[in-house]
Structure 1
């Protein structure tokens, strides 16, 4: 033992300085020492371990290499205890099990003998806190590495603030504060626990073996449907053997909670959802928790929420949904799926022109123009100066997707592809919300038909709700511009955050979990990535 370290270690350490990692250390450890008194071996060990984490390294430089974990005082003991307890509970958040890391940290602390050992343990505990807090607050995965439609950028956190927080705050309270505070996250945690209990108890019973069941039917399949809906909580206990009114109402409640047409008939789509196993629903909840961690905690006092799997667009004020309408999202093909991201709505355009995206011009319209120059006659073809091109004198057969020199525009009209109003949050993906002349699509159960933008079933009412905060009579204001027929930009005096999300599991304001289909297959990809990162279901844990 060096002379420097002798001043920081006492005899009798063979019993274990950390006393099962939760006990106090003997007097003479690093905490509380002046910077000049901190041994070089301790500083060097901390710097060495922290060299792979800029935030940890910066914290110790700014902190003068004062220890926050390895002291003999009660607060240091509480910090260690609070951290190890949290690391042992990561599975509650749908994160990988970190019990092996806890064992490693305990072993590291138990075996600490020299000043350098203490420095190594100090930095290791700090890195463990930063890793845990970062995963919990911003998510385990990087969205863009999973699917090219996941263009959402995670909000950033500063690991040094976590270390300052555990240093300056009551340790257990601080660790609790790291859990995402959104009602949705807390609700998903509760649903995860509930589903794990259902899974441990054996699930919801046998699947329903039928293609279609409807009121008046009888037989084993009806009984299986009855029993499964009872197990799920949609039907009170009953011995009825027929598809009676009570079962029909239970089916309707199930359909409402799963985004299905509430006709009370258990058709192929409804039965497919009824037969989903508990494990499938549990995966959806765990994926939704990861997705919730990707979102910034500050969603905006007023914000717009578009859930693609639910085919809805909502205006949320102070946590309450104040407006909701059906929506149509991008078709499920590689170049049309709507991306997921957040931005700010800045303005709306009433009586908009539709400036046809280059991809649509070259993939859809150019082949038609080659065959018939008068094709898509409702669209103007313009040159670089904005002049309308004479179709009769143009030879479209000479152009390819690379050298087509024209633009295409559809003037304002009721038949315009954007309808009569569009809502803009300028972004590089060219995505916005808009009206549409194709109103019949909103009656469909699955509404994935667009080129990527979000179509609204009630765009006028959506506009009224946005304008209500800046004009006394938003409806009159809107229609005065609309009736002019002129393309008009209307700025929003206060920008509104827009969050385009994709959730197959949500918890309603009443606290009940609802589920939707994985329209684009993105959640399946996220679950696969979580599994690769070490997340497992209780049924396959050792």
Structure 2
């Protein structure tokens, strides 16, 4: 009888469930009702009263709500860069200003300047608008030559000309700033005097315009990074051109002032030195070029193999030569990748922190043979431009996350204390490019799932399996902050504007691992641990959704907090979520440099994993083209 009783109850329960499903708007609602009936208890305040309805026949499918339209959340894109246009200096405005302000004397430089302005109808000189406005404002208030006297160019002018004509040493385009020295001989006739004054005015204003352009480019860079792509996020540096011109006009050493506007950090100085060295080497000798797409496995042949073996032999230290020198000598001329050579290649790969798989591929060739000097020079030029987007002074204590090198470096009081491998964003979920300050470390963190991941990845899964989040360690909260069951939500009705917040609970499977290091920003980029430790052994490590995973997060957290790794472990022990504020905020540079020096000044070169070099090079070309329209 008991079995019959239970069977009848079960049948009744199933019948009731089917009845209620008829009033459900989705599979999620149905699952929620079945949970109530078969043991998954629901608090009283969440219970619903459902009116009775006819039981549908088994062959009739349960009506499902049509899924809400969802548009995939796309990543930021690269833009079609537009270079700043040039305008003519408003000579008419300068004339009007001088006419409204009579000169104090009828002779001397001020008088000569006024005569030149009055006699000049127009100037064939186009410059950036901010520079044109600064020129008109300055000379309206101080109508006199800055760079010329009765004998021609002054000593101050010659010093500045030396800086302008040396612009290429800073990775700039020389023709954008170059000025030739001029001599303006004395004239006797009125016509000759007038021509002389007009020539002096044109040269003076061109010199001023070039000096101001140099100041802007040295201080801010030639390209506005935020106009390159949505992955760049910089507070655009501001330069008061009028103030700069005032300093140039009054300073005893305007040349030193212009030089001081370049980035004042060791990385920039090292890149500048490397640029000079490479240019000298490129002019002095021919270099051996290897096939950059070479892919050679044991047993294969390639004509470049002897060159690679020669490079390995040339770079080998005494220890390497002692172990592999005999094999290198024996097979120096072979183009067949014999089994005897595999240990040599693997050893060379290990020396350069590559995966020692014994396969001679693009990355192995790039590291062993190096890039061409032309390619290196191009990367240095782009790195010097990018450095101008960051603060001039980086600080003696800082964290640098360089995406192309897949590394995180911590420098304390000018000494590198940590340098570790990282995993960065994929090409479709790129790590952004910006700088910020580290504020705190969170232990046993929750992971707040970003809306883009919810829409692009989780929502399709939840429409098939509404209870997925409940079973896999996630918490769901509605707009009122109340925790709800994932299975109770009709995910078919949810579109791009998901009215729920989702977070993953702390634990071994949490995507952020044991801790995260926070520098709060609108892109939700931060450093963190990861349970996917195997990825750190790979050469190319672009696998994240944009955040930076650390190979040794406990060491980085300890450094940020000024405590030991053991103390970090105590904060993690027990699994409780907690946070600790850093004693002093530390600058962090989330950067993208395909040429980057270590603290000793040795420059390394990296692949352009996101294709940003090409976009920046194109933008710089557009700037050059726009400026060539001026004179």
TM-score for both structures, normalised by structure 1: 0.79
Which of 211, 214, 225 is matched with 1:143 structurally?
A: 225
1:68 aligns with 2:146: yes
Deviation at 1:57, TM superposition (A): 4.6
1:349-428 aligned at under 5 Å gives the runs 349-376=442-469, 377-378=471-472, 379-402=474-497, 404-428=498-522
More off after superposition, 503-512 vs 279-288: 503-512
Q: Is the 8 A contact 2:113 2:145 kept in 1?
A: no
The match for 2:37 is none
State the distance in 1 between where 2:434 and 2:403 align: 11
Partner SS for 2:149? coil
Q: Which has the larger radius of gyration?
A: 2
The match for 2:60 is none
In structure 2, the CA distance between the partners of 1:445 and 1:81, relative to structure 1 (3 Å rule), is same
Q: Could you list the per-position Cα deviations for residues 180-210 of structure 1 after superposition, in whole angstroms to 9, with x for gaps in the alignment? A: 3322222212222232234334542142595
1:231-380 aligned at under 5 Å gives the runs 240=329, 242=331, 260-261=354-355, 266-272=360-366, 274=369, 276-333=371-428, 336-376=429-469, 377-378=471-472, 379-380=474-475
The match for 2:542 is 448
1:488 aligns with 2:541: no
Deviation at 1:418, TM superposition (A): 1.2
The match for 1:540 is none
1:110-189 aligned at under 5 Å gives the runs 113=195, 118-166=200-248, 167-189=250-272
Q: Could you list the per-position Cα deviations for residues 410-453 of structure 1 after superposition, in whole angstroms to 9, with x for gaps in the alignment? A: 11222211112111111111111111111111111111111111
Q: Could you list the per-position Cα deviations for residues 298-355 of structure 1 after superposition, in whole angstroms to 9, with x for gaps in the alignment? A: 212311110001111111123321122211111111xx10110011111121121111
State the distance in 1 between where 2:597 and 2:177 align: 32
The match for 1:520 is 610
Partner SS for 2:147? coil
State the distance in 2 between where 1:138 and 1:196 align: 25
1:85 aligns with 2:162: yes
Structure 2: stretches of 5+ with no match in the other structure: 1-101, 187-191, 334-339, 626-631
State the distance in 1 between where 2:332 and 2:173 align: 44
Deviation at 1:483, TM superposition (A): 2.3
In structure 2, the CA distance between the partners of 1:432 and 1:475, relative to structure 1 (3 Å rule), is same
Could you say what the CA RMSD is over the residues aligned between the two structures, in angstroms? 4.1
The match for 1:212 is 296
State the distance in 2 between where 1:448 and 1:109 align: 65
Q: Is the 8 A contact 1:82 1:175 kept in 2?
A: no
Q: Is the 8 A contact 2:525 2:547 kept in 1?
A: yes
Structure 1: stretches of 5+ with no match in the other structure: 9-27, 536-542
State the distance in 1 between where 2:312 and 2:599 align: 22
State the distance in 2 between where 1:94 and 1:283 align: 9
Q: Is the 8 A contact 1:251 1:266 kept in 2?
A: no
Deviation at 1:396, TM superposition (A): 1.7
State the distance in 1 between where 2:349 and 2:235 align: 34
Deviation at 1:509, TM superposition (A): 3.0
Aligned length: 497
Partner SS for 1:287? helix
State the distance in 1 between where 2:270 and 2:210 align: 27
State the distance in 1 between where 2:160 and 2:174 align: 14
Q: Is the 8 A contact 1:434 1:454 kept in 2?
A: yes
State the distance in 2 between where 1:309 and 1:102 align: 38
Deviation at 1:113, TM superposition (A): 3.9
In structure 2, the CA distance between the partners of 1:55 and 1:7, relative to structure 1 (3 Å rule), is closer
Partner SS for 1:316? strand
In structure 2, the CA distance between the partners of 1:400 and 1:210, relative to structure 1 (3 Å rule), is closer
State the distance in 2 between where 1:246 and 1:327 align: 31
State the distance in 2 between where 1:486 and 1:97 align: 59
Deviation at 1:375, TM superposition (A): 2.1
Deviation at 1:399, TM superposition (A): 2.1
State the distance in 1 between where 2:522 and 2:602 align: 36
Q: Could you list the per-position Cα deviations for residues 464-513 of structure 1 after superposition, in whole angstroms to 9, with x for gaps in the alignment? A: 11111xxxx54454333322433223222211111111111112333332
Deviation at 1:165, TM superposition (A): 4.1
Partner SS for 2:304? helix
TM-score for both structures, normalised by structure 2: 0.69
